[in-house]
């Protein structure tokens, strides 16, 4: 149960970061927004897999 809760919280934080960066910095800049979103997603994926490996989830 705690594993599922931690994954849900991680995804909610991920979404909050993407939306807040979009709204605060790249409101009318499509390509910059797309590149920033891809970079944020890559960072979150790397962090997820590194913590997953360390915690053996």
pLDDT (0 to 100) of residue 45: 93
* CA separation, residue 15 to residues 1, 8, 18, 29 (Å): 21, 11, 5, 19
Confidence (pTM):
0.80
Average pLDDT (3-26) is 91
pLDDT (0 to 100) of residue 16: 96
Compute the distance between CA of residue 14 and CA of residue 7 in angstroms, rounded to an integer.
10
Residue 56 pLDDT grade (very low, low, confident, very high; cuts 50, 70, 90): low
- Domains of the chain: which residue ranges? 2-55
Residue 33 pLDDT grade (very low, low, confident, very high; cuts 50, 70, 90): very high
Burial of 28 (0-12, 13-18, 19+ CB in 10 A): exposed
Compute the distance between CA of residue 41 and CA of residue 57 in angstroms, rounded to an integer.
20
Percent of the chain exceeding pLDDT 70 equals 93
pLDDT (0 to 100) of residue 37: 95
């Amino acid at each position: 149960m705690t594993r599922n809760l931690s994954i849900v919280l991680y995804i909610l934080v991920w979404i909050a970061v993407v939306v807040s960066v979009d709204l605060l910095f790249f409101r009318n800049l499509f390509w910059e927004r797309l590149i920033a979103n891809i970079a944020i997603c890559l960072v979150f994926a790397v962090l997820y897999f590194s913590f997953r490996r360390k915690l053996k989830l």
